[in-house]
Structure 1
Amino acid sequence: MTTNTRSDRDVVARRASTAAAVGTAIEYYDFAIYGSLAVVLAKLFFPATQGFVALLSTLGVIAGAYVIRPIGGLLFGRLGDRRGRRTVLLATVALMGIATTLTGLLPTYASVGVAAPILLTVLRLLQGLSAGGEVGGAVSLSTESSPSKRRGLFGSATSIGVAIGLAGAAAVVGTVSALTTAEQMAAWGWRVPFLIAAPLLVAAVIYRLKVEDSPLFLQMVEEAAPPKAPLTEVVRDHKGGLFRLIGLAYSTLTTGALASIYLVVHLSGVLKYSLSSSLWLTVLIILVPIGIIPWAGALSDRFGRKRLLATGMVGFVVLSVPCFWLMQQGSLALAVVAALILNVPFAIQQGVVYTMYAELFPTRVRYSGVSLGFNLGGIIGTGTASLVAASLVAATGVTIAPAFYAVFAAAVGLLVLLAIHESSGKELASGVAPAAADAPVTPAVPTPADR
């Protein structure tokens, strides 16, 4: 009987983790194709005479999409804590996919003038709104469906979705770029990666329809009414957890963006490697995180989340400057080696941090807490990483300047870790019974044990 219980729970965990990965894959596929095509889109959606300013404007649209994410987090987080994770995740993935597909149908600046960048921005904001509720729900669903002793492993699925989305985007854009001339790419080739989101959307919705809701959420609503104002509870009772999550999100999202999607802009736009080579390099370096992420998640179940996450952050402090220096030596082979090395600490962080997010809040307000904190951290993290990095290069003329920004972000994360208690192996709190604020990993209500 014990074996069957463990087996059944593992099946639920695997389904929930796969559903979480599917949604985040689409979210980061969209984010990555926009970033990968930034050099091309800048010439199509902004006046060609603006040159580098047009590139900065294109990257600025990414930042704008992140500004609206907290609003999406508040909206979908409230619904997720009151109505359940599954239903809301269906809505977020559908909205994201539709916005991405419509981007591929937009007219350019040459066709409609200033309306083109406006429409582009509107769709990016719509995508940002829906994406604001995606990660909080995916993290909640995967971790709440997992056995406590294997939560790090199953919780890493969200990060695997991120890596798959980034790699898939780079592969698609790289293939289209290789099969088209520069003129064809500007005329119609750039649309293909966005339009591919349509079949991905259908597949994601079909799979999420087959997944049951989080067992911990269902247990919680049987024992008490869902929170009427989850955001109020987060701000009132879990301020410490919220600020810690914002700090972790800023640190890991900034370093992760600089080690992955920004490299396409840096290698092609700053160091002048070919766009096609830069994109395929991105595919290659993302294979490293896909292999390391679940391994890091499993190790965090054994050795602790803090130890693994600190290892990744120290890696960025030590390796960022040498790796960016290698990239600018004029050798694509050296650039490949440098990028691969830099993505090892990125993968370690990704394998651990999403599970840590969930462990900072009780089930009662987890969706809202993770959504709000992650998206606020994302505004100043991923949302501005490429823009800040490109601006540093433009302002200083120093092509390794982004490396110093990565070191700073990693140092911030190490400071935040000092204020976080180890949470691996402990049951997730429900928040139903009275509990001390900012103690989310204390088992307030007994949950099915991993016997």
Structure 2
Amino acid sequence: MTTETQGDRERVARRASTAAAVGTAIEYYDFAIYGYLAVILAKLFFPATQGFVGLLSTLGVIAGAYFIRPVGGLIFGRIGDRRGRRTVLLATVALMGVATTLTGLLPTYASIGIAAPILLTLLRLLQGLSAGGEVGGAVSLSTESSPSRRRGLFGSATSIGVSLGLAGAAAVVGTVSALTTAEQMASWGWRVPFLIAAPLLVAAVIYRLKVEDSPLFVQMIEEAAPPKAPVTEVVRDHTASLLRVIGLGYSTLTTGGIASVYLVVHLSAVLKYPLSSSLWLTVLIVLVPLALIPWAGALSDRFGRRRVVGAGMIGFLVLSVPCFWAMQQGSLALAVVAALVLNVPFAVQQGVIYTMYSELFPTRVRYSGVSLGFNVAGVVGTGTVSLVATSLVAATGITIAPAFYAVVAAVVGLLVLLSVRESSGEELASGVPAGERGAGTASPAPTPTTADR
């Protein structure tokens, strides 16, 4: 490969990874707002069921959005493997932005009655469908556009986008809450974070329009017809890889959920710390380890994906119990430090895991495989982590019980990791059968995927 070609590939990789990070950040900003405003939305859209029951109804809509994400993964994954990554990523960010903006314009229960919670639920489900198609496409675009020797670094862009989106949502909601009274927040302030999605949508669409589709996908289409049923191929021919993504996803999403989102609940509801600025604590917990994500991705290019991801999982084995013990010593400052320390292995995992998912599938079905596996793992991991952790504390009376759940999830991840072959530095497989290649194609036969070796 010439120096010029290498430079061109680097520029393509930077554009693709930036598009993945920007779009994913906006997607997760939009998706997270609802959760941060759940208490306010409960009073405005479910007033017929007062208090705790109304909050449960609002949280039930959150759960529904997680459960529908695998459906979004199936739909958008199929289109992405047949029509291209760029086309679908434009559709997912547009759907998310429109659904979020419309949520900010919704009349409340006081204005239109039962139609208000119904419309809120429908828009939240559309958000879930969109989120289900985002990660698989973003990681496919970024890794397929990257040179093999730096795929871990560029592939970490998806994780950076997720972190920025979650932190941005918490920061916006926290800022609006600080600048308004409780009455203003309930009257119109809650709409502001949702309506900010409109200009973000425009910016994301404009940027993604400037990014070309991944070179590997374009090459695959030139060599053979796209798969007619990519999801069927994933389930039939790449079952082992699919199960690996589900197992690794459960492990990293569970340990990460305990180290980030759940910790705010734990510190305030379980340990009774006065967290009047809990949203800002969320921002701190998410953003402080952010610099570790690309660093971990770059390390995986040098030392291998398995070693770096494994180091993150071992970090949870070693740190979970001591950090949860430190949190309950009565010092909020010590508790915050312990929370930040526990997010170090989370950031290390996140810097590598999406690239590892991508390398488990060939280009032919990569979007569908990653989307299906990741979103199923999300239902089991992210969708239940706070419920399981809180239930463990309630059932045992032991305030460090969530730490043991994190240890179990880390062990599951390490066991799954043992079955994954190292693939850093290798060219990504196309998955196009030799008999389907176009006449005169000079491309070599595809190498087997990790699952097939």
Give TM-score, length-normalised by structure 2.
0.91
Deviation track 1:301-327 (CA, whole Å, cap 9, x = no partner) reads 111111111111122222223323433
Shift of 1:222: 0.8
| Equivalent residue runs for 1:9-408 within 5 Å | 9-47=9-47, 51-273=51-273, 276-396=276-396, 398-408=398-408
- The question of 1:431 aligning with 2:431 is answered yes
Give 1:440's match in structure 2, choosing from 436, 439, 449. 449
User: Structure 1: which 5+ residue stretches go unaligned?
Assistant: 445-451
Deviation at 1:150, TM superposition (A): 0.4
| Amino acid aligned to 1:253 | L
Structure 1 match to 2:440: none
Change in CA separation of 1:402 and 1:97 when aligned onto 2, cut-off 3 Å = farther
Deviations 1:394-416 (A, max 9, x none): 55555444333322222211111
AA partner of residue 262 (structure 1): Y
Q: 1:102 to 1:426 in 2, by over 3 A?
A: same
Q: Which amino acid aligns with 2:338?
A: A
One-letter amino acid of the counterpart of residue 150, structure 1: R
Q: Residue in 2 aligned with 1:449?
A: none
Cα distance in 1 for partners of 2:396, 2:62 equals 23
Deviations 1:177-222 (A, max 9, x none): 2222333323322222121111111110000000000000001111
Look up the equivalent residue of 2:253 and give its one-letter code.
L
> Relative to structure 1, is the Cα distance of residues 296 and 50 closer, same or farther in structure 2, using a 3 angstrom cutoff?
same
- Whether contact under 8 Å (1:17, 1:142) holds in the other structure is yes
Q: Which residue does the alignment assign to 1:448?
A: none
Cα distance change, pair 384–58 in 1 and its aligned pair in 2 (3 A)? farther
Count of residue correspondences: 444
Structure 1 CA distance for aligned equivalents of residues 205 and 218 of structure 2: 21
Deviation track 1:210-261 (CA, whole Å, cap 9, x = no partner) reads 0000000001111111111111111111000000001111111122222223
Q: Mean alpha-carbon deviation: is it higher for 168-177 or for 107-116?
A: 107-116
Q: Deviations over 1:76-126 (max 9, x none)?
A: 111111111101110000001111122222334454454443332211111
- The aligned amino acid for 1:182 is A
Question: Is this contact kept in 1: 2:360–2:451, CA < 8 A?
Answer: no
Determine helix, strand or coil for the equivalent of 1:213: coil
Change (3 A) 1:328 1:31: farther
The amino acid of 2:210's aligned partner reads K
2:442 — aligned with what? none
Question: Compared with structure 1, are the counterparts of its residues 106 and 272 closer, same or farther at alpha carbon in structure 2 (3 Å cutoff)?
Answer: farther
| SS of equivalent residue, structure 1 residue 133 | helix
Identity %: 83
Is the alpha carbon distance of 1:315 and 1:39 closer, same or farther for their aligned partners in structure 2, counting shifts above 3 Å? farther
Rounded to whole Å, the distance in 2 between the matches of 1:79 and 1:94 is 15
Please state how far the C-alpha of 1:270 moved relative to its aligned partner.
4.4
d(CA) in 2 for partners of 1:181, 1:328: 32
Counterpart contact for 2:241–2:361, Cα < 8 Å: yes
Contact 1:178 / 1:276 at 8 angstroms: preserved in 2?
no
Do the aligned partners of 2:364 and 2:432 also contact (CA within 8 Å) in 1? yes
For the structure 1 residues 392 and 108, does the alpha-carbon distance in structure 2 shift closer, same or farther, using more than 3 Å as the test? farther
CA distance in 2, matches of 1:370, 1:132: 10
CA distance in 2, matches of 1:273, 1:184: 27
Deviates more, 1:210-219 or 1:244-253: 244-253
Stretch moving more, 379-388 or 131-140: 379-388
Distance in 1, matches of 2:96 and 2:135, equals: 12
Q: Give the direction of change, closer, same or farther, for the CA distance of 1:90–1:251 in structure 2 (3 Å limit).
A: same
Letter of the 1:17 counterpart: S
Report SS of the residue matched to 2:422: coil
How far is 1:51 from its partner? 3.9
Structure 2, unmatched stretches of 5+, are 436-444
Return the alpha-carbon distance in structure 2 between the equivalents of residues 443 and 23 of structure 1: 32
Higher mean C-alpha deviation, range 404-413 or range 369-378: 404-413
Shift of 1:387: 3.2
Opposite residue 377 of structure 1, the aligned amino acid is: A
Q: Distance in 2 between matches of 1:159 and 1:381?
A: 17
Matches of 2:10 and 2:447, distance apart in 1: 29
Q: Say if 1:269 and 1:440 are closer, same or farther in 2 by CA, change over 3 A.
A: same
For residues 43 and 107 of structure 2, the distance between their equivalents in structure 1, rounded to whole angstroms, comes to: 13
Distance, in Å, in 2 between the alignment partners of 1:58 and 1:20 is 30
Between the aligned partners of 2:301 and 2:220, the Cα distance in structure 1 is 25
**Residues in 2 aligned to 1:58 and 1:402: alpha-carbon distance in whole angstroms:** 24
Counterpart residue type for residue 38 of structure 1? A
Cα pair 1:21 1:160 within 8 Å, conserved: yes
Q: Normalized against structure 1, the TM-score is what?
A: 0.91
Contact 1:73-1:372 at 8 Å conserved across structures: yes
